[in-house]
A and B are shown apart, each in its own frame.
Chain A
Amino acid sequence: MKLSKKLVAITAAMQPGQIACDGFLGNDPRSLAAIMAADQAAVNRIGLSHRQIARRMIEFRDAGQKACGDWITIPPRWEVRVDSARGKLLCPFGDPGLYPKTSITVRDIQNGTEITFTDLHIHLIGRHGFYEGSGCAFRVEPARLAEVLDIN
């Protein structure tokens, strides 16, 4: 009962306009629990953990921040740019703390593929195993993260 009440509160915080303009669930018809279970299975399939993925995202963020908003090359095959905006965001799971509005764009120079994630996403993935619902602007499939960021 307690868990379901908590899930209801988290799902409410993920609705558009609560914390983020577009929310965190997109147009995904599945429940939050179903979304997270599916992503857990996807991460299991590629033999990784959410923490491993988040750690790699942090590596790219930290390397990119050195360029203060410009593209920076990260050998052997990436370019990264970290943009900062004024303000901070809350975690929809209710964790204390605020997450900077930092967006990290990683581009694979060899094939041109590009992904963008934020500081909050790193937290959501590493701490909660949540990659957002389908249709969200920032939704990135775990397998795609692993591929573009070369996590293995």
Chain B
Amino acid sequence: MIDNQQFTITINERREFRSTPGVSLLTALKGQQVFIPSACGGRGACGLCKVRVVRGPHSPLSSKERFHLTEEEQRQGLRLSCQVPVDQAMAVAIPDGYFHAKEYRAEVADIRNLTHDIRELQLRLIDPPVLAFKAGQYIELQIPRYAQVQRLSFRAYSIASPPSSPDRIELEIRWIPHGLGTTYIFKHLKLHDQVMFHGPHGDFYLRESPRDIILIAGGSGMAPMKSILLDMRERHDPRTTRYFFGARNRRDLFLVDEMKRLELDLPDFKFIPALSQPLPDDSWHGETGLIMDVVDRHIDSNRPADTYLCGSPAMINACLAVLTRKGFSDDRIFFDKYS
């Protein structure tokens, strides 16, 4: 329907808005505070911004869409929203979860170095003043133009604080040499600076169930686990929980004291840090070895458990192999593969 050169876009058959022609569907939705995941800024490269077009443009799929969409997805009407120009009225279907994400402005309230390469940012929300999220979810932080970086971009970071503190969130961010996002965060971002982000995003969060809980993480994968554990403490969650955390040596370990306190606060929680290559000066008497081997030694395949993993794809794949061999059910394993 054309109205003053604008086209009506219907979302999930219950929300309508009018958009100026010429922009991409991704941009039009973002203008309505509907944040479709996208890692490439609308260049058709990442393939993340899929939406189902129910009615509307019958323009042929671009070569980028044909690369990213399976034949089945094409049959179902999926398109990359960044490749669909708004040139007529259309109706689209998106997961309801996308409606929960909003854009936020926040102030850097604290900066704390957790290790030689991991930093914690505390953000105090300004507008809107609170963020409702599930423990384990992430936000996308806007990296502004700085130094020679002249293009806005976004970087995904898990929230490390519990949902009970909706006016302040914490992020734990690992320094990546020459990284566009972390160079900004470690070299340019200062206390009291303001930042923009949108969220919450993601389906990595603690499920309700009567089963035990196994958490496995490494590096900045600590962030969602900390959020989950603090949330469990506040909700007096009684479930038996084991948290395996892998680090190379002692200087890569962090938040150990906080985890030990949680052992006292939660009814049946054990934190099991493991060093894969402890140094002689580390005086380490705890678990040693790669984290999947430590997990293999500790977990009991006769006890049903929900397992949550966050870390590098290699670490997660290795742990998944162990869990599968031990008979853990695929549908009770949840992971965030750093992607």
- Chain A positions near chain B (C-beta within 8 angstroms): 16-22, 65-71, 82-88, 90-91, 94-98, 100-101, 137-138
Contact = CB atoms under 8 A, between A and B. Distances in A.
A11 B68 CA distance: 25
Contact of B313 (A21, A22, A90, A100): A100
A94 B44 CA distance: 9
Contacts of A82: 314
A98 B315 contact: no
B2 interface: no
29 contacts: A16-B148, A17-B145, A17-B147, A17-B148, A17-B151, A21-B180, A66-B314, A68-B246, A68-B276, A68-B314, A70-B248, A70-B276, A84-B313, A84-B338, A85-B174, A86-B174, A86-B339, A87-B338, A87-B339, A88-B46, A94-B45, A96-B45, A96-B64, A98-B39, A98-B45, A100-B313, A100-B339, A101-B179, A137-B178
A40 B297 CA distance: 50
A17 B148 CA distance: 6
Interface string B101-117: 00000000000000000
Contacts, number: 105
Given A18-B151, A87-B181, A68 B176 contact: no
Contacts of B157: 86
A88 B176 CA distance: 12
A18 B153 CA distance: 9
A132 to B, nearest CB: 12
Interface residues of B, number: 46
Interface of B: 39-40, 43-47, 63-64, 67-68, 145, 147-151, 155-157, 174, 176-181, 183, 218-220, 246, 248, 276-277, 290-292, 311-315, 318, 338-339
A84 B67 contact: no
Per DSSP, are chain A's interface residues mostly helix, strand or loop, or mixed?
A: loop
A100 B311 CA distance: 13
A85 B63 CA distance: 29
B67 A96 contact: yes
B177 A137 contact: yes
B149 A21 contact: yes
